[in-house]
Amino acid sequence: MTGTDTGVGKTCIAAALLHGFAASGLSCVGMKPVAAGCDWRDGVAYWGDVEQLIAASSVQADPAWVNPYRFEPPIAPHLAAAQAGVTIQLDKIVAACRALQAQADVVVVEGAGGWLVPLNAQHSMADLASQLGLPVILVVGMRLGCINHALLTAAAIQQSGVPLAGWVANQIMPDMPAFDANLVAIQTHIAAPLLGVQPWFATPDQNNVVLHLNLDAVLNC
pLDDT value for 149: 96
3-state secondary structure of 70: strand
Catalytic member of 32, 143, 149, 212: 32
Give the distance, in angstroms, between the CA of residue 58 and the centroid of all CA atoms in the same chain.
18
Are 143 and 172 in contact, with CB atoms under 8 Å apart? yes
pTM of the model: 0.93
Are 170 and 141 in contact, with CB atoms under 8 Å apart? yes
Q: Report which residue type is found at 103.
A: Q
- Please report, in angstroms and rounded to a whole number, the separation of the first and last CA atoms in the chain: 13
Q: Is 20 exposed, middle or buried (0-12, 13-18, 19+ CB in 10 A)?
A: buried
Strands 106-109 and 28-31: parallel
Residue 32 annotated to the active site = yes
Q: What is the pLDDT along the chain (221 residues), one digit of tens a residue?
A: 999 998 899 999 999 999 999 999 999 999 999 999 988 888 888 889 999 999 999 999 999 999 999 999 999 999 999 999 999 999 999 999 999 999 999 999 999 989 999 999 999 999 999 999 999 999 999 999 999 999 999 999 999 999 999 999 999 988 999 999 999 999 999 999 999 999 888 777 767 788 788 888 887 77
